[in-house]
Structure 1
Amino acid sequence: MSHTHDDEVHEHDLGLQHDLGTLRKRRLGRRGMIGLFGGLGVAAVAAGCGADPSGTATTADTSTGQPTPPAGGMGGDSGVSVADGEIPEETAGPYPGDGSNGPNLLTESGVVRSDITTSFGSASGVAAGIPLTVRFRVFDLTGEDASILAGAAVYAWHCDSAGNYSMYDGDAVNQNYLRGVQETGDDGWLEFTTIFPGCYAGRWPHVHFEVYESLDTATSASNKLRTSQLAFPQDVCEQVYATSGYAPSVANLAGISLESDMVFSDGYSLQMAKMTGSLADGFVATLSVPI
């Protein structure tokens, strides 16, 4: 199957899957009202998880207040509350690799892994780029108070430095790197070791992710709790794209903005990662995922 990123702009952002995700009914009551009106000025997730990891902090939008695990551990408390609202439901796009559009990687042995820079199974490629750690902390908002969601699973995937998605297009079509599943610990945290994604025409730099109840449901690609996307701050993108291997991303980033992006244009405060680190040491992107 041949894919282009022109397909993604339409299928990813305007197609049936996007419409269904947008119209999907949230739970009734307080959470439902917050979900409907959260984009009109609801406060972003509050900080309070402890000290940032060591390294040069680079945060484009400190108002997002995403939590960062304390140095030396993945524990800590968070200021996430029911009033902050749920992370938005978004389209998985045409390159999910979860069986909803073509190949299903989730049922393959080896998909549960933290380091997603390499391919596995019969593929052997390695994704090159600026090192990136992506940390998620998952919360359950079904009660009166937000609670940590332990034992949940997150499937994350994104394009490579050239803007290609493994299993689908370009030189990455025969690879399965930059895709993997991890389980949240008792503290709700999980993390992936990866590379900073490139920027392709028509989309702001992002990471896709799906949240499942457990590893069992994730690896059977069933009963998704939420599909969403993580956004990167502009200043970090510009730093990364000025390095070798990201040349096409410079022009592509200049041609798009968060306000014009077809996913993030309706609000991105709950999807904007907090960034720490540096080009020399690699970056860390941290995001709360309240569902």
Structure 2
Amino acid sequence: MSHHAHADETEEHDLGLSHDLPKIMARRGLLGLLGGVGAAAALTACGSGGTTSTTADSSASTSSGPGGNPPPAGGGMGGDSSVEVAEGEIPEETAGPYPGDGSNGPNVLSESGVVRSDITSSFGDATGVAAGIPATVKLKVYDLDGDEVTPLAGAAIYLWHCDREGRYSMYDEAIAEENYLRGVQEADANGELTFTTIFPACYSGRWPHMHFEVYESLAKATSGDNKLRTSQLALPEDVCNDVYATEGYEQSVTNLEQLSLDSDGIFSDGYSLQLAKVTGSVTDGYTVTLNVPV
């Protein structure tokens, strides 16, 4: 598959949300409302010199803050596990054409070794390592049921995204034998889990993003059974500009200039619950944080 074919196919599949129009319309009323898990506060406080700390542009969407998840007082990822009620679940999105979950071609979820925190390298018989600016992804999964908010201890997330060149392992011809930038993690008692990866590229037609699927348990994740949610995480523009100014991301600069969150086929209907909080720097790497209410 050529890189051009990859971009074209991505646009065709990722922009195909008209098939899910009723679901999208149902969620529009949720996207401007506040959500709350104590994840962003601790990360904001730990910045150092040269640190980038992003905020959402409220004029660009109905967003009320980064990831739509303003932290409760005293809350923090890895510390106080208290949460505020989030008024809206993480939106359901297309998995796109390169999920690697068996729904469209290869299935990485059934392979031994897919349960791992560091997804930078391939596993099994593959030996490739994805180059790029380091990124740590911290997610917090919780159940939202009316006024009840419960961390989903033991839930699992399958995370995947493109590499520095905008390619997806297992699908792009050049890296079809690799399975890097894909992995599964189990949430702890507070519903929290962490991945170590690299900052993805911006490829033609899509805003920089990461894909993820939420499962009730690790067993269900590794069998691809009964997903609770499929969604996508958006990355803030200021951080993308900093990363894409570094060696290896040159094509991303051109691609990003042609896009905005409001024109992206996935995020254009609202992204307040999907825009991640990002702190860090090109030198030290970045921490990407998102709360995932389901």
| Offset, 1:86 | 0.4
What TM-score does the superposition give when structure 2 sets the normalisation length? 0.87
User: Which of 61, 75, 81 is equivalent to 2:79?
Assistant: 75
Structure 2 equivalent of residue 191 of structure 1: 194
Q: Which runs of 5+ in 1 are unaligned?
A: 26-31
Distance 1:49 1:238 in 2: 21
Does the Cα contact within 8 Å between 2:143 and 2:293 map onto a contact in 1? Answer: yes
Structure 1 equivalent of residue 246 of structure 2: 243
| Offset, 1:77 | 3.4
Does the Cα contact within 8 Å between 2:39 and 2:76 map onto a contact in 1? Answer: no
One-letter identity of the residue aligned with 2:34: A
Does the Cα contact within 8 Å between 1:67 and 1:288 map onto a contact in 2? Answer: no
| Offset, 1:46 | 6.3
Structure 1 stretches of 4+ with a deviation exceeding 3 A read 18-25, 44-50, 65-68, 70-73, 77-80
Q: Which runs of 5+ in 2 are unaligned?
A: 58-64
Distance 2:85 2:224 in 1: 29
Structure 1 equivalent of residue 275 of structure 2: 272
CA RMSD of aligned residues (A): 2.5
User: Which of 28, 33, 39 is equivalent to 1:42?
Assistant: 33
Distance 1:253 1:142, change over 3 A: same
| Offset, 1:139 | 0.9
Q: In the TM superposition, what whole-angstrom CA distance separates every residue of 1:234-279 from its partner, at most 9, and x where no partner exists? A: 0000000000010000000001110000000000010000011111
Structure 2 equivalent of residue 259 of structure 1: 262
SS of aligned partner of 1:146 = strand
Aligned pairs (5 A) from 1:1-291: 3-14=5-16, 18-19=17-18, 21-23=20-22, 35=27, 37-39=29-31, 41-45=32-36, 50-52=41-43, 53-55=46-48, 56-61=51-56, 63-64=65-66, 66=69, 74-77=78-81, 79-82=83-86, 84-291=87-294
| Offset, 1:57 | 4.0
Does the Cα contact within 8 Å between 2:83 and 2:149 map onto a contact in 1? Answer: no
SS of aligned partner of 1:134 = strand
One-letter identity of the residue aligned with 2:81: D
| Offset, 1:146 | 1.3
Distance 1:156 1:149 in 2: 17
| Offset, 1:173 | 1.8
| Offset, 1:209 | 0.1
Does the Cα contact within 8 Å between 1:48 and 1:77 map onto a contact in 2? Answer: no
Does the Cα contact within 8 Å between 2:159 and 2:211 map onto a contact in 1? Answer: yes
Distance 1:67 1:277, change over 3 A: farther
Distance 2:209 2:100 in 1: 16
Does the Cα contact within 8 Å between 2:144 and 2:150 map onto a contact in 1? Answer: yes
User: What is the aligned residue count?
Assistant: 278
| Offset, 1:47 | 5.2
Distance 1:85 1:49 in 2: 18
Distance 2:89 2:229 in 1: 10
